[in-house]
Structure 1
Amino acid sequence: MGVPKFYRWISERYPCLSEVISDTEIPEFDNLYLDMNGIIHNCSHPNDDDVNFRISQEQIFCDIFAYIDKLFNIIRPQKVFFLAVDGVAPRAKMNQQRARRFMSARTAAEQEQAHVRKGGKLPTEKRFDSNCITPGTVFMAELHQALSSWLNVKIDKDPLWHNIRVYLSGHDCPGEGEHKIMEFIRHERIADGYDPNTRHCMYGLDADLLMLGICSHEPHFSLLREEVKFSRPPSKKSGAGSAQRANPSQTNFHLLHLSLLREYLSWEFDPLKASLPFPYDVDRIVDDWVLMGFLVGNDFIPHLPHVHIHDDALPLLYQTYIQILPTLDGYINESGILHLKRFEVFLKAFAANDRKHFLQIMEDESYLRSKRCQEPHGQNTEESSLSSTDSNDERDETTEDSLLDEAAFVSSDEEEDTAEAANRIPDGGLPSASYLLTHLNSGWFNCWTKTVSNSFRRHKRSYYREKLQYENITKTELRQQAEGYVRAIQWNLHYYYRGCVSWNWFYPHHYSPYISDVVDFSDMDMSFELGQPFKPFEQLLAVLPTASAECLPQPLRDLMCNKESPISDFYPTDFRTDLNGKKNDWEAVVLIPFIDEKRLLSAMESKIPLLTQEEKLRNTPGNILLYCSLELLPPSLLLRPVLLPVDSFYLEPQKVVWGLLPNVKLDVYFPGFPTMKHLPHSAELKQVKDIIFLLKKEEFEKVREVFDGRLLSRITGTVFLLHERSSESKDLPKIPERINIGLSLKFSKRNQEVWLIGDLKSKGTTVPFGSQGTVVGLSSGKVDVLFDLEFNGKEVILGACVPKTSLINITYGKTRKGQKLKRQRENGSLRAKIGKRLVAGKESKENTPSGIQKVRNSLLPDGYSLTCHVSEQLVRKSSISTCRTKRAFNS
């Protein structure tokens, strides 16, 4: 799962990272890696909201094979094809897996109950239980066997699969799929003859793949994933057939280039070049950037209070880093090893976020109280209500001060700020929360009084009491919380840079401490014990709810379902969730008990002898399978995979090679891998109004000007294929009724020149980068443009009417000649039909629909009209930014 909302955020901030896959313009890759669990989930339950969707296991397997084949044919790796299925995960990951599976089972049951209450009927066939996509189940064992046989056939029959190494690390090999891939890459990097310019492509849906890829410091690394469509309302259909099977042939795929992300990060932290007292190193900056990403959430640690991506936590982290790093004596993340003293300084600076958020809470509460509480003369004042509240608090201040001092929430820095503030706040009463926030940027000491500080400490004490069940948290307990969180960060860094450093460690809380309380940890011990991974059935009992008991062997189900079981308390049927500052239900904290490993293993001891031989085999680690073409194998191994030990790619930490390898070619242009190194350009960070993923938001974005400053304005919109140019035939060509192609236009009002930024492609249609179109009309906020292009070998006209905030859909519809303009409002949209034919050199003024000023088209056949749908739905920027990368930065 990775960092929630991270992929969207980074795509908005750095809009040129991705490009839409084109069959004719794909970079050449040496190695392709598939994180298989995303494929398995897509092919087995494409829409969890459809309670009527049913699919057979045979069809699931066929769809999985088709998906793999499609991805292989897109990338066509030259050396290695690595398929990694999730095996048993580290204990740290199981907490999230357990929460996710409990929620999945409850949601499925609630959906079916709601469907029946509404009078719906459920199919007689049993619904696919997605929780069976867990190592050790019958489903995963049969999939592994089928996948192994299918790979044998492909290597034997398909010429594209010859002369490459194909690896299958299945569910019986411990480790998460993406981390098994990274383990393989680390092992390859130390091999004799390894090419430091190897070109890698990894497929997967998790946002953390981006961090895994970039912290490998392999310079030519891209991520392959399906097009993500954000903010679309879920389908309301519940009838049969509303969910469709996975169909990769109808799916748009994107390549996200980590080479460009590396260059973006260089610009992001460019101010450090002039301020660091030690050498500036982009690779070390990247390592610290990965560390900062962990602070906004990951699969192993609960997010910090009030540190959310949707609240601009990442820009605040970056600003703090740029301010603090020049005061340190080096970088914070030293190739996966946390420098504790530097990290502590950074966190102290970032802790300002805690106090700022508290002041915002005070302001909100003061405002609400001012609406409820009246002054004697009928006036509401924020200051009086806040003062009144705090004066009530101060009645018990003598008693509470001893408790607060024992808890020691406040640091020495905070005490200094409080002392300074006492001398700076003007006489006349307690400052309001609005005053505090107004003077926030001028320094904390200007506003952080003792009264405010005590209120903040009471606020945090309440958090620890309600969330972590500390009645009055002590200094010792608070230090344990701080050290536990820092240890979790270090475990994460080890996991990403070196592999799993401990299979048994996990973060033992549902919530994290306040960042302002993560202090005084610079001398803590950071050692870990490696331990052993769980066996598959141990993990099944650790993560599955009672509703998925059938995924377990019969002898083990009793431990889960019997109320007399010694571990029955591990499987609650009713549990609470807590959004804890998040906005979506799927982000909620699932409050279920953690597994006690000793109790679990003890309860299983008496059941293991009752397993069948086949079940015992499923509970045993397997092998990594290596497939080679006939040319690479001796006759004795034809059509049989080579069995590799499960730890074949494991490296001891001291053997791992970090950073860029010698002889890497950063300045050499590799076809298909975009770079800005060979283009004169400048960069600036500015706030723009943009249309992102169906939403109009004010976001920060890196803007690159690659046309020598000629960019006077940016307009986003859609363009549409009109028809084939033909003087003989009056029939329309056989094309889809509507073709929407994302477009970003660059135009100059002075010269009325229009350039295309990016490639437009759709089913054989191509408008190359840099094409110059003819401006038909200019109006306020709108540009009408015509482009010539090739469509299936025939010359056609591409028409574009590009409003700034509207989506224009143009289709053909046959009408009677001369039909009058008909307007109607439908679903909040304006629909208009033009019945009058447009003649060369003339413009139809009376029959021009609202939203389009001028369209010139001399080739509209008799009897056909142009139908325009002007909708207030906003343009998707993903289809704009992702299609312009390659040519824009490599031409």
Structure 2
Amino acid sequence: MGIPVYFKNIINNYNDILIQQDLFNIKINNLFFDLNCLIHPCCHGLTDEQEMFDNIYNNMIKIINIINPKDLIYIAIDGVCPRSKIEQQKYRRFRSANEHKLWDTNAISPGTKFMNDLNIFLKNKSYPIKTIFSDSSKAGEGEHKIMQYLKLNNNNDINIVHGLDADLIMLSLIKNNNIYLLRERTEYNIEGLNSEYVYLDINLLKKYLVKDIKKGFVKLSKQNIINDYIFLCFFIGNDFIHNTPCINIRYGGLDNLLKIYNLLQEEHAGIFYLIHNNKLDLPNFKKLIHKLSLEENKLLENILNIRSNQHKKFKNIYHDIYHSYFNNECLDKYNIYDKEYERDFMNHIPIIDRRNEIKIFNDLDINWNRRYYMFQINNHHNYNPSYDDILEIQINDICKNYLESFIWTTNYYFEDCLSWKWFYKYHFAPSVKDFNNYLLNINDLNIIEMDNVPLKSIEQLRLILPEKSFNLLPKNVKKYPDYYYPKSFKTNYIMKRYYWEGHPILPEIII
């Protein structure tokens, strides 16, 4: 899940959910590897692929020896993903295409020779107990493979899952299994942790979340509260849903959503749910969006004030390079003194260069949403009422696709993949006001055509690889026309905090 600061937030709020390795004395039944979390760091800085393979296996054995599982080792590697995830993989690979690398990390993708060789290597190695291996030739993200297995084997076993991103936390919260997430301490960057590995107690996290949300008047079951919490987290942005401008986790977005959610609970005598029987409840979803739409301008104003203060701070920090940048002067001279200086400056660009942001949101009472769409669609802010007919058609399509993203993601997390071909086509979310207006006429959520056939790994490679990585394609495979693989492209970073959070604007490949 693409929630950059989510993990930091929950650790700050509930710091005792982390258990140090030397204090963890629970006997473990099953150990699960979301192996891509291990593959990437084990390959970092190396160029010899056999050395990478050995490094991956040796680190696995090290973890197995520490955990000492009694019953099962389950190794899951990312296979072909749903198209919605493939789009995110494409953006990340294009964004990093010009970075200097000793070895092309895009080789860590299903269907490459590297991954095929790694599958064979790991299958031929020995493991101390029963081992299930779901390699990259089997469709599905690693964490979803693990969760599907746990869903079918729900018992009292104690399970360790190696790998910890926000997505894995959310998926684990859905399950009724006993789950601890394991990760290297260095991944957390938290003071006071001394052991090499730490464990995140999912059941304890559930307990704290329910206590904070329930507030004495919510009458839903504990799991229903957790499910609603997970759904609310969709709004702050993940790999499949863009956050709308007024909701940003860096500016209190999740807290604001929970306040609205609790107001709705009070209005419904504590029996208000967004997820019911693992499905999105449309009437209650409409009520949530309506309340959020009433707060949209106020929330935006608060965010813009914070960003204005951040702008002043970083303008002063980078005062010399700031003026050169705004005067379109060459920045190379700064590299002579400190190569990190310009990189740091560029990383803060969304907060330093707010010219487009200010033109869009300079008057929240008059047509800001129209200026927002004009910029996002046409790259200018010159709204004119004569555009309204065309703009309304475009907004309607954006809102429809945005609703689909909530439906698809709900199914993907709580059930299974509704469609392997569906994806969100836009690089931005609609305004909440427009989304609310669109929902007024919606009475049915069966709007996505089901498709249970994954793409082939070759098709995924053709979709995600930038031109510099074409050598990873099998020789007999043709790429799409050059138009779909631009060497340079614009990045949408409106209302983002860091440049790396921006969304590359790339041509849509229709297959």
Tell me, yes or no, whether TM beats 0.5.
yes
Question: Aligned partners of 1:365 and 1:231: how far apart in 2?
Answer: 26
Q: What SS does structure 2 have at the residue aligned with 1:83?
A: strand
Among 527, 533, 540, the residue aligned to 2:454: 533
Aligned counterpart for 2:118 among listed residues 139, 143, 156:
143
Matches within 5 A, 1:353-368: 353-360=295-302
2:225 paired with 1:285: yes
Question: How far, CA to CA, are the matches of 2:142 and 2:503 in structure 1?
Answer: 24
Partner SS state of residue 133, structure 2? strand
| Residues 229 and 541 (structure 1), Cα distance of their counterparts in 2 relative to 1, 3 Å cut | closer
> Which residue in 2 is equivalent to 1:458?
367
Displacement of 1:201 after TM fit?
1.5
Partner of 1:581: 495
Distance 1:260 1:580 in 2: 37
Counterpart in the other structure of 1:502: 419
Counterpart residue identity of residue 284, structure 1: N
Q: Quick one: which of 174, 195, 216 aligns to 1:215?
A: 174
Q: After superposition, where does 1:234-253 map in structure 2 within 5 Å?
A: 252-253=196-197
- Of Structure 1 and Structure 2, the greater helix share is in 2
Query: Within 2, Cα distance between the matches of 1:315 and 1:63?
Result: 42
Describe the superposition over 1:93-141 as per-residue Cα deviations: whole angstroms up to 9, x where unpaired. Answer: 01100011112222227xxxxxxxxxxxxxxxxx211000000000001
Please give the secondary structure, in 2, of the residue aligned with 1:508: coil
1:297 to partner: Cα distance = 0.9
Cα distance change, pair 584–365 in 1 and its aligned pair in 2 (3 A)? closer
Change (3 A) 1:286 1:554: same
Aligned-partner SS, 1:71: helix
One of 544, 566, 582 as aligned partner of 2:465: 544
CA gap 1:575/1:294 in 2 versus in 1, 3 angstroms: same
Change (3 A) 1:506 1:217: same
Tell me the equivalent position of 1:65: 57
**CA pair 594-353 structure 1, distance change in 2 beyond 3 A:** farther
Show CA shifts across 1:472-511 (max 9, x none): 4644443332232122111111111112111001011111
Structure 2 counterpart of 1:345? 287
Separation (CA, whole Å) in 2 of partners of 1:227 and 1:541 = 36
Q: Which amino acid aligns with 1:64?
A: I
Please tell me whether residue 227 in structure 1 is matched to residue 218 in structure 2. Answer: no
| Percent identity over paired residues | 29
Write the mapping of 1:232-311 to structure 2, written as runs, cut at 5 A: 252-271=196-215, 273-274=216-217, 276=218, 279-311=219-251
Residue 315 of structure 2 corresponds to none
- Deviation string 1:780-834 (CA, Å, 9 cap, x unpaired) is xxxxxxxxxxxxxxxxxxxxxxxxxxxxxxxxxxxxxxxxxxxxxxxxxxxxxxx
**Structure-2 residue corresponding to 1:176:** 141
Specify the alignment match of 2:90 in structure 1: 98
String of CA shifts for 1:733-755, please: whole Å, max 9, x gaps: xxxxxxxxxxxxxxxxxxxxxxx
Name structure 1 gaps, 5 residues minimum.
Answer: 46-52, 110-126, 155-160, 190-194, 233-249, 368-451, 561-565, 598-891
CA drift of 1:594 comes to 2.1
Deviation at 1:515, TM superposition (A): 2.0
Residue 73 of structure 2: which of 44, 61, 81 is its match? 81
Q: What secondary structure does 1:210 align onto?
A: helix
CA positional deviation for 1:290: 0.4
1:513 and 1:36 map into 2 onto residues whose CA distance is 36
User: Where does residue 887 of structure 1 map in the other structure?
Assistant: none
Aligned counterpart, 2:35 = 36
Q: Output one character per residue of 1:552-611: Cα deviation in whole Å (capped at 9) or x when no partner.
A: 01222xx44xxxxx62211111112122222222211111122211xxxxxxxxxxxxxx
| TM-score for both structures, normalised by structure 2 | 0.81
The 1:322–1:342 alpha-carbon spacing in structure 2 relative to 1, beyond 3 Å, is same
Q: Distance in 2 between matches of 1:265 and 1:461?
A: 38
CA distance in 2, matches of 1:251, 1:66: 19
Is the 8 Å Cα contact of residues 417 and 452 (structure 2) preserved in structure 1? no
d(CA) in 1 for partners of 2:72, 2:416: 21
Match of 1:317 among 257, 274, 287: 257
Maintained 8 Å contact 2:47/2:103: yes
- Tell me if structure 1 keeps the 8 A contact 2:264–2:272: no
Which sits farther off after the overlay, 352-361 or 542-551?
352-361
Asked if 1:523 is matched to 2:443, the reply is: yes
Contact 1:101 1:131 in 2 (8 A): yes
3-state DSSP class of the match of 2:98?
Answer: helix
Q: In the alignment, is residue 128 of structure 1 matched against residue 110 of structure 2?
A: no
Distance in 2, matches of 1:172 and 1:313, equals: 38
What amino acid is aligned across from residue 322 of structure 1 in structure 2?
A: N
Q: Is the 8 A contact 1:351 1:516 kept in 2?
A: yes
Q: In structure 2, the residue corresponding to 1:491 is in which secondary structure?
A: helix
Deviation for aligned residue 1:229: 5.5
CA contact (8 A) 2:174 2:414 kept: yes
Distance (Å, rounded) in 2 between the aligned partners of 1:74 and 1:464: 53
C-alpha distance after superposition, 1:204-263 (max 9, x if no partner): 132210000011122x2111112246689xxxxxxxxxxxxxxxxx97211000111111
C-alpha distance in 2 between matches for 1:229 and 1:576: 31
In the alignment, which residue of structure 2 is the partner of 1:815?
none
**Cα distance in 2, alignment partners of residues 494 and 311 from structure 1:** 28
Distance 1:299 1:487, change over 3 A: same
State the structure with more CA Rg.
1
The 8 Å contact of residues 46 and 52 in structure 2, kept in 1 or not, is answered as no
Q: Which amino acid aligns with 2:491?
A: T
- The separation in 2 between residues aligned to 1:205 and 1:186, in whole angstroms, is 19
Distance change in 2, residues 1:335/1:257 (3 Å): farther
Where 1:19 maps in the other structure, the secondary structure is strand
Amino acid at match of 1:349: K
**CA distance 1:69–1:352, change in 2 (3 Å):** farther
| Aligned: 1:201 with 2:160 | yes
For residues 224 and 353 of structure 1, the distance between their equivalents in structure 2, rounded to whole angstroms, comes to 39
Deviation at 1:200, TM superposition (A): 1.6
Is the partner of 1:136 in helix, strand or coil?
coil
Distance of aligned partners of 1:202 and 1:230 in 2 relative to their CA distance in 1, 3 Å threshold:
closer
Instruction: Identify the match of residue 327 of structure 1 among 267, 270, 273.
Output: 267
